[in-house]
Structure 1
Amino acid sequence: MIKNSETIDEFLARSAADVEEAVRAAAAAEIMPRFRRLAAHEVDEKSGPHDLVTDADRRAELYLTEALGALLPGSVVVGEEAVHANPASYEAIRGEAPVWIVDPVDGTRQFVHGEDGFCTLVALAQGGVVRASWTYAAARDQLATAVRGGGAYLDGERLFAGPPEPDHDLRVATSHPDYTTDEQKRALLGLRVPGVAFRSCGSAGLEYLAIARGDLDALAFSWEAAWDHAAGLLLVEEAGGAHLTLTGEPFRITGGNSLPFTAARDAATARRIAALLSGSAG
């Protein structure tokens, strides 16, 4: 908990390891015991057959809501499943209280299909600024962390994205066409140029991690849900990358962004992808 006049930075210096422990414990208790063991009654559709939720999502979010709230009294938790049940709870992201932004299973489709490309995402933000993040790929036993101004790490090793390799096509992950508006589809078509190799994305959190590691050059996403982006955007920033919306401004977790937006290994690549998306590339 924050004591007296302790700042978020001081809390993180003292309690970051406790957050990591909570994330790992939630996955161990509620996610991994159900991995490749889901019964039919443990999987439901939300908005359609491609938008799934499982008992692992629900129970891991409840676990994290209790654990994170106990670590930081006075904070609030904005979780994907809680917002689905009560959309008004999303407004807490725009408030002044510290807010935990939680996606208990990012990549639920992969999780349901028994694939290991899923992760748990937790970010701590205040005043619309992400201060720290945790990306835990439990099936791969990988944990990436970032603290604003303190760097990005994967399993304790510092991450530096670096610029893309010269004389190679840019590797770009994009929103699936089924989840985009007609206008966004037209923007994404701007990536159909020589020198860009694009594919549909998997787990957003793992795509951000791939950028921070230098295994992916950029992404182009068309939705704003903070639980998908908050953790990964800070990870990319702290690894030396950048993110831009169509108006040339960084993505805001509080919303109102011009979409699609991009995140990339370096600022030059972010500018190039943003220009292609906006149709202003020369």
Structure 2
Amino acid sequence: MIDDFLYGTAGDTGPLADVEAAVRAAAAAEIMPRHRQLATHDIIEKNGPHDLVTTADRLAEEHLTASLTKLLPGSVVVGEESVHADPSVYDALGGDAPVWIVDPVDGTRQFVRGEAGFCTLVALAQHGEIHASWTYAPALGEMAVAVRGRGATLNGAPIRCGSPAPGAALTVATSHPDYTTDAQKRALLGLNTDDIAPRPCGSAGLEYLAVARGALDAVAFSWEYAWDHAAGLLLVAEAGGAHTTLSGVPFRIAGGNDLPFTAARDEATVLRILTALRAGG
């Protein structure tokens, strides 16, 4: 069903452009008019000061839900804000229907501060497999698209992860300590070695994009919400990168992963990060 939607019987890629247009339209209508214009009542703490939601998040998700399900009848949406309102929505990731996985504003803290480092993430999945993804940073003017088996592009140009420079310390974006268990903290502390340079992550979607374009060597994350990772994992994979969970198996978007997990520019880098995480744990 998804392949027919994405390419049609004649290989038409028009629907890919339609989804991109829908993502851009949601950002133009609901996100960018509120960038640096948020009032106090537009910002809510969901689970503490590091977990914020804004009017832009909520309205952009509503906009995308309407437009994406119209593009693909029979599809459903698993979005960050809809799951916050009703956790059972997440169960759709294990169902039969095509699923749009949506993070309307990834990097909400950066958005609230008026910074440019936020993005909208959309992925299309079915039966646990990610088929296509869109990473849109409207304040930066960047749109990255990945399609399973067909590569990754940034603003229409192909991108590749490449490999880290031989002998150089690996730069790795890692989870904020507030989002980790004690065991995960110990694993992430394993990254503090002479040949790895960890730093706190910003927008997860933009960190994945940095890996895909070869500007960052790896990410190592300790949470598994699909809306934060589905789009980026496909983007990195289609740009030539790789990923694994702590147990050495691929990340499952429906959950139940052995955390932390890592995505990196190549298999060798994944193994270096995995070895360090296991040593820390």
Of 6, 10, 24, the residue aligned with 2:7 is 10
Name the residue aligned to 1:20. Answer: 20
The separation in 2 between residues aligned to 1:232 and 1:226, in whole angstroms, is 10
Cα offset, 1:280, TM superposition: 8.5
The separation in 2 between residues aligned to 1:256 and 1:80, in whole angstroms, is 18
The separation in 2 between residues aligned to 1:26 and 1:280, in whole angstroms, is 42
The separation in 1 between residues aligned to 2:3 and 2:114, in whole angstroms, is 43
Cα 1:262–1:29 change in 2 (3 A) is same
The separation in 2 between residues aligned to 1:8 and 1:269, in whole angstroms, is 35
Cα offset, 1:272, TM superposition: 1.1
Q: Moved runs in structure 1, 4+ residues, more than 4 A? A: none
1:180 aligns with 2:177: no
- Give the secondary structure class of the aligned counterpart of 1:167: coil
The separation in 2 between residues aligned to 1:190 and 1:151, in whole angstroms, is 32
Q: Residues 232-243 of structure 1: matches in 2 within 5 Å?
A: 232-243=232-243
Cα offset, 1:6, TM superposition: 6.8
- Give the secondary structure class of the aligned counterpart of 2:114: coil
| Structure 1 residue ranges without an equivalent (≥5) | none
Q: Residues 150-165 of structure 1: matches in 2 within 5 Å?
A: 150-165=150-165
- Give the secondary structure class of the aligned counterpart of 2:19: helix
Cα 1:48–1:157 change in 2 (3 A) is same
Name the residue aligned to 1:83. Answer: 83
Cα 1:255–1:67 change in 2 (3 A) is same
Name the residue aligned to 2:199. Answer: 199
Name the residue aligned to 2:44. Answer: 44
Name the residue aligned to 1:93. Answer: 93
Name the residue aligned to 1:251. Answer: 251
Comparing 271-280 with 106-115, which one deviates more in the overlay? 271-280
Cα offset, 1:254, TM superposition: 1.4
Cα 1:222–1:6 change in 2 (3 A) is closer
Cα offset, 1:9, TM superposition: 4.2
How big is the alpha-carbon RMSD for the aligned residues of Structure 1 and Structure 2? 1.5
The separation in 2 between residues aligned to 1:275 and 1:168, in whole angstroms, is 17
The separation in 2 between residues aligned to 1:164 and 1:101, in whole angstroms, is 30
Residue identity over aligned pairs, in percent, reads 67
Name the residue aligned to 1:61. Answer: 61
| Structure 2 residue ranges without an equivalent (≥5) | none
- Give the secondary structure class of the aligned counterpart of 1:191: coil
The separation in 1 between residues aligned to 2:50 and 2:3, in whole angstroms, is 43
The separation in 1 between residues aligned to 2:5 and 2:189, in whole angstroms, is 41
- Give the secondary structure class of the aligned counterpart of 2:190: helix
The separation in 2 between residues aligned to 1:7 and 1:47, in whole angstroms, is 40
Cα offset, 1:7, TM superposition: 2.6
The separation in 2 between residues aligned to 1:112 and 1:193, in whole angstroms, is 34
The separation in 1 between residues aligned to 2:190 and 2:3, in whole angstroms, is 47
The separation in 2 between residues aligned to 1:166 and 1:8, in whole angstroms, is 42
